[in-house]
Structure 1
Amino acid sequence: MTTSESPPITFAETRGAVKGYDKRAVDAFLVRAREAFETGAEPITAAEVRQAAFPLVRRGYVIAAVDAALGRIEDAFAAREREAAVSSEGAHAWVGQTRETAQVVLDRLSRPKGRRFTRVGPLRYGYRIDEVDLVADKLAKYLETGDSVTVEQVRAVAFRMQRGGYREVQVDAVLDAVIEVMLAVA
């Protein structure tokens, strides 16, 4: 069976007023990801899978089910990327790059509470500072001592908003870097 003949992956649909991911957008992304994984045509990276976003609609796919599938797809792409890098650059170089990324992230997370990320203006909303700092402490401990944190826990992190909070883009970039480090050493 070729990629174009493979049966589509389907997820449960939301009901009532609950919104879910747009089915056509999810299906199109999954077809593209499958083709990229199986044939190498139009490559996709693990980071692209992690950053995939879909419109929210009524009677869409249940978000948690799609997110879980995307997590597994990201893991597969990350493993492939790790294997390719180790075979082309060697394990020592791969470990060195991963260690370097981990140190940059740890340096950011080790900043004083309330000053780990740039804040948005006082009239704009950003991530709630105390919640981000709590997660940052946990991730810093993971990077320093190997305390138990899973990739799924980092993927599932969500923060409430507050005026003058941390800039979302910066926090999200650090969370993405933590996931990359975790997948690199998996």
Structure 2
Amino acid sequence: MDSIFPHARKPRLGYNTAQVEEFLEVARRAYDGNPIAGDAPLTSEKIRLTAFAMQKGGYSTSHVDAALERLEDAFAAQERQVASRLHGDEAWLREARTTAQVVSNRLARPESQRFDRMNPVVLGYNVREVDRFADKLTRYFRDGWPISVDDVRTVVFSTQRGGYREAQVDLVLDAVVDVMLAVR
């Protein structure tokens, strides 16, 4: 198979080429509705959570990540079409509104109390940075302020001792992406 992405310059690390190519083959079959025995079901959420091993000279992480974001968008649109046909647009949007309300309630908590905190000797996300981004998300949900799916997907927080629990923050960010893709 020809190289489908640029490679990271040696000795830099990139994504494992065999894993990326295998994943994309499974994704192509799933999207086309032709999975083969052994293919795990694939959804937009699973694409978002996909991770690859690293290797020297592997595929460029930025190029693969951009492709995965486009693939996630395509699967989300397909999932919405299927759900709309089965349950109607209103049911799809009602679910998105419910998720948005849960996220909004979480973000409405007082600053430095929006998420569980790590033990003071363990690293977590920087509380001030997360709260600042949470304020942007609150304005998006409450007032319709512009923020893109890519802004949410690519946000990076530094760490601090006793910071916010990373898994909890990431789960809320994933829910925000789900809502944003649902209302596109």
TM-score range, shorter chain: over 0.9
What is the DSSP-based 3-state SS (H/G/I as helix, E as strand, rest coil) of the residue aligned with 2:5?
A: coil
Task: Single out whichever of 101-110 and 51-60 deviates more from structure 2.
Answer: 51-60
In structure 2, what is the equivalent of residue 140 of structure 1?
138
Corresponding residue for residue 117 of structure 2? 119
CA–CA distance in structure 2, aligned partners of residues 40 and 134 of structure 1: 44
Q: Mind listing any 5+ residue stretches in structure 2 that lack a counterpart?
A: none
| Structure 1 residue 32: Cα displacement | 0.9
Question: Structure 1's 129 and 17: CA in aligned 2 closer, same or farther, altered over 3 A?
Answer: farther
CA displacement, residues 43-63 of structure 1 (integer Å, 9 cap, x when unaligned): 310000000011122111111
Q: Deviations over 1:47-87 (max 9, x none)?
A: 00000011122111111111100000000000011111111
The equivalent of 1:55 in structure 2 is 53
> What is the aligned counterpart of 2:12 among 8, 18, 21?
18
Equivalent of residue 148 in structure 2, options 144, 150, 173: 150
Q: Residue 65 of structure 2 corresponds to which residue in structure 1? A: 67
Match of 2:28 in 1: 34
Partners of 1:175 and 1:152 lie apart in 2 by 11
**Counterpart residue type for residue 10 of structure 1:** I
Where do 4+ consecutive residues of structure 1 move more than 6 Å?
A: none
Decide whether aligned partners of structure 1 residues 170 and 32 sit closer, same or farther in structure 2, where only a CA change above 3 A counts: same
Cα offset, 1:94, TM superposition: 1.2
TM-aligned CA distance change 1:8 to 1:77, over 3 Å: farther
Q: Residue 183 of structure 2 corresponds to which residue in structure 1?
A: 185
Change in Cα spacing, 1:70 to 1:9, as seen in structure 2 (3 Å) is farther
Per-residue displacement from partner, 1:151-179 (whole Å, max 9, x unpaired)?
Answer: 11111111111111111110000000000
C-alpha distance in 2 between matches for 1:24 and 1:126:
32
Q: Output the TM-score relative to the length of structure 1.
A: 0.92
Which AA in structure 1 matches 2:7? E
Contact 1:110 1:140 in 2 (8 A): yes
Report the Cα distance in structure 2 between the residues aligned to 1:134 and 1:174, rounded to whole angstroms.
Answer: 15
2:159 to 161, 169, 186: 161
Task: Answer whether contact 1:22 1:56 (CA < 8 A) is retained.
Answer: yes
Cα deviation for residue 40 of structure 1 reads: 4.6
SS in 1 for 2:23: helix
Query: In the comparison of the two structures, how many residue pairs are matched?
Result: 180
Unmatched runs of 5 consecutive residues or more in structure 1: 1-6
